[in-house]
């Protein structure tokens, strides 16, 4: 009986159920798998982008590359925090978590994740809009819509930042989390549902910029297919955003906050990581072209390296007639030829 106070749950269990403090978080394994897969996808996409820019096309890092890098760092941080939250009850029912486990650090890391998510989503949207700017800026209407998208993305992010910071200040202690009306589930549901709905509308607006332009694009069939594949990835991210909105709407009145937060975090994780991969997808064709011709010749290249060196006249050309700089130019054309074809067609 002396230990009874330590076995009190955060919330009483529903009628007919008992608290099980040793029960694992529901779908924790699925979270691990999806989190690692999607953050790896985002990491590889940004890595390919930077490889193409730095090693194949020999271009300098631009501001949109920096936005992708920041988004990736936030995605990695977000993934780490979500997985760490499993140790503090994320995904478990409130009646399966001891009240004494509501430590300041545990609450703080859960609340900070909301701020990280908002920042990550902002930089992902900026990265996607930057891709559109790279492809469609020659069209005045598209360019105006892209700038409008930048403004809307920043405008909806600011109040989300503010709410996240206020919750960090007021809800990061056990007393505040349990007694402060601002930290209760209903205000939390209202804010999450509102921000999610506005975010979905913003994403629909952003993706509609590309859809409206792709319908009119005048390029070769295979290149149009490439564009469709790129923006199909963006559509997948939008699907997860809509799924998140559907979830928070259906479970608007739930009081099971840790279980609720698990699914909100998972949907956001999928949306942001897939969206970031979409923002870098146009760099895959030049990467594939460069390595498609390089990989089969690696073995023979190692054997004839000394001969290639002796045949080099200092101009960058060898007797094979192939120039490293020429390969870089070919890859650069692959990245932007959709854009250039459109310019020629509009003249």
pLDDT of residue 62: 87
Domain boundaries, the chain: 24-287
Band (115; pLDDT cuts 50, 70, 90): very high
Q: CA torsion sign, 254 to 30 to 80 to 239?
A: negative
The tens digit of pLDDT for each residue in 25-71 reads 778 888 899 999 999 999 999 999 998 888 877 778 889 999 999 99
pLDDT of residue 294: 60
pLDDT at 308 over 50: no
Q: Compute the average pLDDT of residues 253-282.
A: 87
pLDDT of residue 339: 44
Q: Are 297 and 320 contacting, i.e. CB atoms less than 8 angstroms apart?
A: no
Model pTM? 0.78
Q: Mention the CATH class of domain 24-287.
A: mainly alpha
For the chain, percent of residues with pLDDT exceeding 90: 29
Residues, the chain: 347
For the chain, percent of residues with pLDDT exceeding 70: 79
- Rounded-to-integer distance, Cα 184 and Cα 197, Å: 20
Print the SS3 string covering 200-269. HHHHHHHHHHHHHHHCCCCCCHHHHHHHHHHHHHHHHHHHHHHHHHHHHHHCCCCCCHHHHHHHHHHHHH
Q: Are 287 and 56 contacting, i.e. CB atoms less than 8 angstroms apart?
A: yes
* 97 vs 154 pLDDT, higher one: 154
pLDDT of residue 38: 93
Q: Are 113 and 78 contacting, i.e. CB atoms less than 8 angstroms apart?
A: yes
Q: Which residues of 270-296 are buried (b: 16+ CB within 10 A; e: fewer)?
A: bbbbbbbbbbbbbbbbbbebbeeeeee
Look at residues 3, 38, 57 and name the one whose alpha carbon lies nearest to residue 335. Answer: 57
Please report, for residues 20, 26, 76, 148, 274, the alpha-carbon distance to residue 91 in angstroms, rounded to integers and kept in the order given. 14, 5, 20, 37, 22
pLDDT of residue 312: 43
Question: Among the listed ranges 38-47, 141-150, 253-262, which one has the minimum average pLDDT value?
Answer: 253-262
């Amino acid at each position: 009986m002396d230990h009874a106070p330590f076995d009190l749950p955060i919330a009483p269990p529903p009628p007919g159920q008992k608290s099980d403090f040793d029960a694992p978080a529901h779908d924790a394994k699925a979270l691990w798998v999806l989190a690692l897969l999607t953050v790896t996808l985002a990491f590889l996409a940004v890595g390919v982008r930077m490889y193409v820019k730095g090693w194949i096309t020999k271009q300098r890092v631009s501001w949109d590359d920096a936005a992708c890098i920041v988004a990736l760092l936030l995605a990695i941080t977000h993934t780490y925090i979500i997985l760490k939250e499993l140790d503090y009850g994320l995904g478990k029912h409130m009646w399966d978590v001891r009240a004494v486990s509501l430590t300041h650090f545990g609450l703080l890391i859960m609340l900070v994740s909301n701020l990280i998510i908002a920042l990550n989503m902002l930089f992902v949207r900026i990265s996607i809009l930057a891709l559109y700017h790279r492809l469609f800026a020659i069209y005045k209407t598209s360019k105006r819509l892209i700038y409008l998208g930048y403004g809307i993305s920043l405008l909806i992010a600011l109040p989300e930042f503010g709410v996240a910071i206020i919750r960090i200040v007021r809800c990061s202690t056990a007393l505040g989390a349990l007694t402060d009306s601002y930290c209760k589930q209903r205000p939390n549901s209202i804010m999450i549902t509102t921000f999610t709905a506005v975010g979905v509308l913003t994403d629909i607006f952003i993706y509609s910029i590309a859809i409206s332009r792709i319908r009119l694009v005048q390029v070769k069939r295979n290149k149009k297919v490439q564009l469709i594949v790129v923006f199909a990835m963006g559509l997948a991210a939008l699907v997860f955003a809509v799924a998140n909105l559907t979830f928070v709407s259906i479970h608007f009145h739930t009081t099971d906050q840790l279980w609720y937060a698990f699914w909100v975090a998972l949907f956001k994780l999928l949306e942001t990581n897939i969206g970031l991969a979409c923002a870098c997808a146009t760099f895959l064709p030049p990467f594939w072209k460069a390595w498609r011709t390089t990989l089969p010749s690696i073995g023979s290249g190692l054997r004839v390296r000394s001969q290639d060196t002796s045949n080099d006249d200092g101009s960058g050309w060898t007797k094979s007639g192939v120039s490293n700089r020429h390969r870089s130019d070919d890859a650069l054309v692959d990245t932007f030829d959709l854009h250039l074809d459109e310019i020629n067609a509009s003249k």
